[in-house]
Structure 1
Amino acid sequence: MQTVNSDILTHRGSHFDLGVKTGEWLQQTPLLKNREKEWKKRMPRFDIHIKETYDIFQAYAPQIWEELQGMQEVLNLPTSQMILNFAHYRFTPLKNSGCTVFLGQDYMIRNYDYHPATYDGRYLLFQPNDGGLAQIGPTSRVTGRMDGMNEAGLSMGYNFMHRKHPGDGFVCYMIGRLILQYCKDVPEVIQLLKEIPHRSSFSYIVMDKHLNHAIIEVSPRTIDVRYDRTCTNHFKLLTHENRNYTKESKERLRRLLKKTPASIDKMSAFELFNNPEFEIYSKLFKSWSGTIHTSMYEPQSLTTHIALGENKTPTQINFGKWLEGQPLNITSLEGQIDTDLTFATH
C-alpha cells in the first residue's frame, strides 16, 4: 500500500497568469521529465500541426490558448512541444481503462480509474477574470479535466469507450475542460459536443444546477444522448461503436445497478464507490484501470467531495464560498493506493 498526495492550488485572475503559475508549479515537479520518458518509450500515434491547432483553439477556446502561452513563457519550450504535451488536440488499442459514474437525486459521483503514472496530483480551483466559467476539480495532463464542477453548478465526468478508428479532434480531458469552461447547463453541453471534433469514443456524463442530467455518447463519427443514471465503459445507444470486449464493463454495471437504489444517500453512495469490498472500486492499476480517486459533486450547493485512493473519508470543499472570496484552508490531499506505481509528479 502506497501513500499518495495531490496538491490543491487556487488561482483568481487571467488564463495567461494561470499558465505562468502552472509553469512554475511544473518546474517544481518531475512531471515534464516523466512525460519525456513516456514519449521515448512510445512514440505519439498522431501528428502535430501548429497552425491548425492554433486555429481550432481560436475557434473554440481562445482563453485556454492564452493559458498555454503563459506556461510557455515560464517553461521556454518550443510551440510544438507545448502542443504535444498540453494542447490535447490530435491529428491522425492503446490501454484499457475503467471509470464508473452514478447520478443520484442531487449529486454526481464517479471513480476515476486509470494508470497512476498519468495522474497529475493537482486539484485546482480557478476563477478567471478574462472569460469562461470558474471551475473546480482535479486536473488531467495539466490543462485538462477528467471531472469537475463550474460556478453554474454544472458537473461533469467522462468514461472511456474505445480508441479504434480515431479522428482529428480534441481528446477527452480537453473536452472535459471545454465543458466546464463554457457550458452552464445540460443543453449547452449537448450542443457543444455536437459542434466540436472528437479524437476518440467516450461517454460524457453531466448534471446541472436544475438537476437535469444526461449521458452523451460520442465517437468521432456520431453522437447520441440518453437520460440514464449509471455509466461504465460501454455504449448503450451507439452499440455498433463498442469495443469487442465489454464483459467486465457490463458486469460492473450490473453490480452498480444492484447496489444503487434511486433513494441511496450521497455518503452511502460514496462508500459504495470508495470501498473495494463493494467491487466498484478497482485495484487493476497495472492494467490501466485502477481507481485513483473518488469524487462527488453537488450542483445546487456548489459543494465537492474527493478522496484519493481507497477507504478514505472525503475532503469536502464549499466552492460557492470560495467564489465569494473565502480563502481555502487546505493545500493537499492524501490517500493510499494498493500499488507501487507512482504519480507523474512523484
Structure 2
Amino acid sequence: MGELTVSIEQYRGKSFDIGAGFGEHDRMKLIRERCEQLVQPIDVNEARTILSRFAPHLLNELEGIANALKISHEESIALFSGYDLPKLEGLGCTAIMTEEGYVRNYDFGPDFYDARLILRQPKEAYATCGYSLFGIGLHDGMNEHGLAVGLHFVSTRLHQKGLMAGLIVRIVLDRCRTVQEAEELLSELPHADEYNYSLADGLGNSAIVEAGPFQSHVLKGTRLCCANHFQMTPGQTPSENSLKRFEYIEKHAYIGIASWFNEFRNPKSPLFFHDYENLFGTLHTLMIDSSTLTLKTSIAGSEEIITIPFKRWMEGEELLISMVSVTL
C-alpha cells in the first residue's frame, strides 16, 4: 500500500485566522479536490442558517479557509460545511469507555483519510484536539473540558438533508463540557444519517447516543463498548463484523484503559484490521484520559506513540512533533 503520513497541526486565535492557517496547509489541496468530487449542489443559505444556530464560529472558520484558497465564502460553505452531502457509507469504528477513559480505533481506507491531527484553540469556542474529517469536521477527539466524542457509522437507510457526522462531532466538542450536554445537543442537531456517538467526560460519565434523522436513544453505563450497530434502536440489522468486535470487548476480562489502548493498536488484535484496499484498515488508535486532558495516539499500528499533554498545550506549550509516518 505504501506509506501513510499524518500531519500534526496547531492553531490558535480567532476562528477566521485558524481557518486561514488551516486552509494554507498543503494537505488542503487534496481535501479540496476530494470534496469537489463528492459535494453536490446544495442550498448554501440552509447550511448557513444551521451553522448560525449551532456553531456560528464555524462560518468564520470557513471564511478564513475561503480566504486562504481564494474562493468565495459561499463555495467554502458548499465544500466544507458537511451539509446535505450524498450518502456516505463507512465501515469500522470501535470504542470502549470506562471510568478511566476512552479508547477508539478508526477503520477505513487511506485514500479517503484527511491524515491530519488538529489542535485548535479558538477564541469563540472550546479548544479541541482530534482527527480531521473532510476539512473542518472531526472523526473523534476531546476538548478542553475532557469531553471525548467519536463517530460510528450505522446506516444510510433514512438519509435526508442534514449534517454529516464529522461536523456533528466537531460542533459537540466545540460547545459541550459534559456527556449530559452532548446528549442534549445531539438530540437537537439535524442528522443526515444514522450513527452511534460514543461519549466520555472528565466526571467519569459515559454514554452511547444512537442518533439518526428521526429518533435517538441513549445508552449509559460505567463500562460501554460501541461498534457499527445500534443496541437499542429498532429496524437495523447488525453486520457480522460489528457484532464480532462488540462481543470481543463485551466478553473480555477487565483491564485498565492503558491496556485497552495497547489491545486496540496491536496489529494482531481482533480489533485491528489490515484490509486498506477495501476500505477496512485501522488508520488510527487514540486513548483519552479526560481527568488529565491527555491524548495518546498511534497511526495504523505503528510502535510510535504520540502523547499530547493538552492542558499544557492550551497554556501555551508547543508540540515539537509535526508529522508521523508508517508503512501500511
TM > 0.5 between the two? yes
**Alignment correspondent of 1:99:** 93
Question: Is structure 2 residue 23 aligned with structure 1 residue 14?
Answer: no
Please say if residues 148 and 290 of structure 2, whose CA atoms lie closer than 8 Å, have aligned partners that are also in contact.
Answer: yes
- 1:225 aligns to what? 218
Pairs within 5 Å for 1:140-289: 140-228=133-221, 229-240=224-235, 242=236, 244=237, 246-259=239-252, 261-262=253-254, 264-289=255-280
Identify which of structures 1 and 2 has the higher relative contact order when contacts are C-alpha pairs closer than 8 Å and 6+ apart: 1
Preserved CA contact (<8 Å) 2:2 2:327: yes
Find the counterpart in structure 2 of residue 340 from structure 1: none
Paired residue total? 326
Which runs of 5 or more residues in structure 1 are unaligned?
Answer: 338-346
- Give the CA deviation at 1:79: 4.5
Question: Secondary structure of the residue that 2:271 maps to in structure 1?
Answer: coil
SS in 2 for 1:133: coil
Residue in 2 that maps onto 1:341? none
Find 1:304's aligned residue among 260, 273, 295.
295
Given residue 24 of structure 1, which amino acid in structure 2 is its aligned partner? E
| Structure 1 equivalent of residue 47 of structure 2 | 53
- Contact 1:158 1:205 (8 Å CA) reproduced: yes
Of residues 282-291 and 320-329 in structure 1, the stretch that sits farther from structure 2 once superposed is 282-291
Distance 1:96 1:10, change over 3 A: closer
Give RMSD over aligned pairs: 1.9
Structure 1 vs Structure 2: percent identity of aligned residues?
29
SS of the residue 2:115 aligns to: strand
Post-superposition offset of 1:164: 1.2
Structure 1 residue 333 displacement after superposition? 2.1
Aligned letter for 1:33?
Answer: E
1:85 paired to 2:79: yes
Q: Distance in 1 between matches of 2:27 and 2:301?
A: 29
2:24 alignment partner AA: E
User: SS at the partner of 2:92?
Assistant: coil
Once residues 302 and 74 of structure 2 are traced to their aligned partners in structure 1, the CA distance between those partners, rounded to angstroms, is 42
Q: What code does the residue aligned with 1:86 have?
A: F
Normalising by structure 1, report the TM-score.
0.89
Return structure 1 stretches of 4+ with deviation > 6 angstroms.
none
Q: CA deviation at 1:143?
A: 0.2
Deviations 1:197-228 (A, max 9, x none): 10000011111110111000001110010014
Structure 1 window deviating more from structure 2 (276-285 vs 184-193): it is 276-285
